[in-house]
Amino acid sequence: ASGSAGTGGQVAVACPVSLSYDPPAGKVITQVAIAGEWNGFSATALPMQGPDSAGNFHTDFSLPPGIHGYKLVLDGSEWILDPGQGYRKYVDQTENSGLRVPDCTRPRLTVLSTNKGQSSFEATVEVHRALSGAQVSSADVSVRHRSPSGEQSAPSTLNGDTIHLDLTGLAQGKHTLVLHVRDAAGAQSEDLLLPFWIEAEEFSWQGAVIYMAVTDRFEDGDSSNDPGPTPGVTDSRADWNGGDFAGLRQRIADGTLDALGVRALWLTPFQTNPAGAHGAADGVHQVTGYHGYWPVEPRSVEPRLGGEAALKALVKEAHAHGIRVLMDFVLNHVHEDHPYVAQHPDWFRTGCVCGTSGCDWTAKRLECLFTDYLPDVNWTVTEASEQFVSDALWWLEEFDLDGLRVDAVKHVEDAAIRNLATSVRETFQGAGDRYFLMGETAMGWSDCSVDCNREQYDTISNYVGPHGLDGQFDFVLYHAVPYRVFAYQDKGLLHADYWTQQSQLQYPQGSIMTPFIGSHDSSRFVSISTYRGQQGFDRSVAYNQWSNLPSAPPDAEPYARHRVALAWLLTLPGAPLLYYGDEYGQFGGADPDNRAMWRAPGALSSAEQATLTLTRKVGQARKELVALRLGDYRSLYASESLLVYARKHLDQVAIVALSLDPNATTTEIGLPVSLGSSDGVTLVDRIGGNVTSVNGGKLSIALPGFGAAVLAP
C-alpha cells in the first residue's frame, strides 16, 4: 500500500489522505479494512474500495496532520502491517504501520521529474494547494553549491500548479536546489530539497571504497582546539589525542585519499561528547569520549574536533574531490548528560546493563544499556522517534552530508530503522541521487554450512531493503574469512572463495554490502597476522587492550599476508571498508590499542611503505576499472593456496589472483567462454606490471610468494 507522505505539526484540521493496497501475486483477497488509532482500531469502520479488476484496493479519507498508527485487516480476520508503508508507529507498545499526514493548511511540493546533464539540471515540481485552495503566488528557488554556505538564486518558471527549474553551466560537484512557495493566503510550503551531483562519470555506492577515520586519531591539523590531559585518565590511548577536522581536510586536499581510490569517508560521531572520563569495561581504566559515541548534545559539533566551521570546510573539500561524507549516527543511546534525558525521561530505558547477570546481549538487545551512563533510547515512544529522526535530517542538511553509518542497528526497534530510512529518502532523494545508509549489525559465523548460518544472514538482511538500509557490514564474511584465511591460514583459499560467493547469494537483491578486514572495534589485522600461533606468538596477544600489547611485526610475513588480504578486500563486490592505517599495516591490539594516530608516508617502515604502495595500486585499479566496482563475482580457480576470480560487468573483465604460498608460483587456468576474453587479448597486472596474454583459452599467471595480481586489458 502507499499513502500520503510529508511532515507537519498538529493543527485542528482534517486533511485528505489516500491509501491503496495491492495483494501479493497469487493471494486472493475479497475485502480490506483500515484499522487505525483514529477509529479505535476497528476492523470494520473504514473499509477500502475494491477489489478492482486487478484485485487491488483503494480508499480516500481525512485525518489531522501527524503520524497515525494503523493496520490492514484482510477478509475480516487477518491483521497485517501495510507492506507498502515505510513508516512505523507504536500504539500502546504495539507496532503498527505509520501514516504520515502532511499539514494541509500549507501548500506542498512533490517532484514530477528530473533530468541531469553534464553541466545542467532540470526539474518539474507539482504544487499541491493548501486546503484553502489559494493559488500559489510566488516561488523562491536557491541553489547551494557544494555546501550550504554558498547560495544563489536559481531561475524557475511558475505555471499554475507546476514549477519548472532549468539550471545550466553547473560546475562539477554537489549542488542542492532549495525550493518553497507561498500562496495568495500567505501560507508557505516547507522547503523542498533537491541535492544532486554533476560529475564526468556517474557515481555509484556499489563499488565505492569507504575510508573510515576515527577523527581524533587521524591527524592534528589545528593545535588550538587540542584539549589538555583529562583528569583520571592514566593511559593516553584512552584520552583525546588531538586529531581533528582540519587534519583530515588537509589530507584530503593533498590527495592522500584520492591516491587510495577512496570515494567515501566515514567519520566517527562528531556530536559534542562529555568533558570528563568514565570507567572502562575492565573496571580499572578511565576512558574519554574521544570516539564520539557518547553524545551530550543533539545538534552541536564537538569543539575538540574543530567545531561547525571546520566540519563544513572538511565536507566542502571532500566534495571538491568527489568524495562523499558519511556521519556515524548513534540511534541506540545517549550519554546521561544529554538534555533529552532530563527533559524527556520517558524517552529512555535505564534498566539492566548488557552482558550482566540476567541481561543477555541478545535476549535483552532492545532494552539493555551498553553501560550504566548511556541511557537506552526507547523508539516505541513516538515523540522520541520523531525527534531523533529530525535530528538526523538536520545533520544531513546543515552539513551537506551524503548519508549515515547507523550504529548498533540490532539494538533498536525495526521501526527506528524504517522511520529513519523513509524520512531520509523522502527528504533528500527527490533528485534521484542516493543518500547512503549503511548499518552495523554485529553478528558471528559458525564453522558449518550456510544453513546453520541462516540466523546470521537473516538478522543482517532484516534491516536492508526499500524501507530500510541500503546495506550493512558483512560480519558473516568477516568472521568466516579474513583472519581465518589470510592471517592464521587455518582455512585455505577454497574456504575464502566459498564464503565470498555466499555473500553474493544470501543478502537481499540490490543491497550494497560492505566487506572489511579491520575496524575500530577489531584488533589490527597485521597484528592478528603477527600473532598467528607460531612458536612464541600466542594468538591471544593480538586481542589485548591495556597490557602485554602487540608490537610491530618482527618480520616481513605479517605484512605480506596483510597485503594479500587487502588485495582480496579491494577487489570484492560491494562497498569495501578501508580502516584508517590499514592501508599501510598499522599494528595494534583491541580497543583502544587499535586506534593509534595515523602516520604519514614519511613515517612508515619499508614494509609499511610496500603495503601502502599495494593499497594505492589496487585502489586505483578499482577506481579505473568498472568491472572491479560493478562486476559480478566469478570463481575461476580455487585451491588451498591459490584463488583466481573474475569480475565482469557487461563486456568489461578484470581477473584477480591471490596466493598464500610462501614461494613463487606459476599457474595456468582455463577461461570460460562467457568471460569473452579471446585469444591474443593482453592483460596487464595493475600491481606488479607483468603482461600476459590469453592463449588457447588459457591464462598463465605468475605470482610471487604471498602475492596478488589484478589483470585487465
Exposure letters 523-532 (e unless 16+ CB within 10 A, then b): bbbbbbbbbb
What is the chain's length? 713
Asked whether residue 249 carries a pLDDT value surpassing 90, the answer given is yes
- Report all structural domains of the chain as residue ranges with CATH numbers, in order of start: 2-101 (2.60.40.10), 108-198 (2.60.40.10), 522-624 (no CATH), 632-712 (2.60.40.1180)
Query: What per-residue confidence (pLDDT) applies to 149?
Result: 53
Q: Tell me the three state secondary structure of residue 164.
A: strand
> Span 456-468, mean pLDDT?
98
pLDDT digits (tens, 9 = 90+) for 6-63: 444 444 799 999 999 999 999 999 999 999 999 999 999 999 999 999 999 999 999 9
Q: What gap in Å lies between CA 658 and CA 530, rounded to an integer?
A: 20
Distances (CA, A) of 409 to 266, 415, 438, 455: 17, 11, 10, 15
Write down the pLDDT at residue 191. 96
- 290 with 240: CB under 8 angstroms? yes
141 touches 124 (CB < 8 A): no
Using an 8 Å Cβ cutoff, are 551 and 595 in contact?
no
Confidence grade of residue 144 (pLDDT, cut at 50, 70, 90): confident
Residue ranges of E strands in 493-599? 577-579
Nearest to 623 by CA among 570, 564, 565, 675: 570
Number of neighbours of residue 204 by Cβ within 10 angstroms? 14
pLDDT, tens digit (0-9, with 9 covering 90-100), for 66-92: 999 999 999 999 999 999 999 999 999
pLDDT of residue 8: 42
Q: Would strands 192-198 and 173-183 be described as parallel, antiparallel, or unpaired?
A: antiparallel
Note the pLDDT of residue 145. 66
Distance CA 268, CA 681 (A): 45
- Give residue-wise pLDDT tens across range 184-210: 999 999 999 999 999 999 999 999 999
**pLDDT, position 284:** 96
Q: What is the mean pLDDT of the chain?
A: 96
Q: Rounded to an integer, what distance in angstroms lies between the CA atom of residue 454 and that of residue 435?
A: 29
Q: What angle do CA 242, 248, 253 make, to 5 degrees?
A: 145
**DSSP of 394-452:** HHHHHTT--EEEEESGGGS-HHHHHHHHHHHHHHH-TTSPPPEEEE-------SS-SGG
CA 427/CA 434 separation, integer angstroms: 11
Sheet holding 209-213, edge to edge: 471-472, 436-439, 403-407, 324-330, 262-267, 209-213, 577-579
The rounded distance, in Å, linking the Cα atoms of 628 and 616 is 15
Residues of the chain by 3-state class (helix, strand, coil), percent to 5: 25, 30, 45
For residue 473, pLDDT over 60 is answered with: yes
Cell of residue 48, nine digits: 477500502
pLDDT of residue 150: 61
Distances (CA, A) of 214 to 222, 230, 514, 591, 679: 16, 19, 18, 12, 48
Contact 607, 596 (CB under 8 A): no
pLDDT confidence band for 4 (50 / 70 / 90): very low
Asked if pLDDT for residue 151 goes beyond 70, the answer is no
pLDDT digits (tens, 9 = 90+) for 274-323: 999 999 999 999 999 999 999 999 999 999 999 999 999 999 999 999 99
User: Given this model, what pLDDT does residue 9 score?
Assistant: 43
Mean pLDDT of 568-575: 99
- Please calculate the CA angle 356-361-362 and round it to the nearest 5 degrees: 140
pLDDT for position 148: 53
- The whole-number pLDDT of residue 142 equals 87
**373 pLDDT above the threshold of 90:** yes
Radius of gyration over every alpha carbon of the chain, rounded to an integer in angstroms: 27
Percent of the chain with pLDDT over 70: 97
Which alpha helices (H) appear in 10-156, and where do they start and end? none
The secondary structure of residue 235, as a DSSP letter, is -
Amino acid at 341: V
- Using an 8 Å Cβ cutoff, are 25 and 118 in contact? no
Q: What is the side-by-side strand order in the sheet with 632-638?
A: 632-638, 642-649, 652-659, 708-712, 682-685, 691-693
Interval 486-499 mean pLDDT: 98
Percent of the chain topping pLDDT 90: 95
Q: Give the tens place of pLDDT for each residue, 494-520.
A: 999 999 999 999 999 999 999 999 999
Q: What is the pTM of this model?
A: 0.96
pLDDT above 90 for 562? yes
Greater pLDDT, 551 or 12: 551
Report the distance separating Cα 91 and Cα 69, nearest Å: 7
Of residues 267, 210, 280, the one with CA closest to residue 591:
280
Beta bridge partners of 63: 15
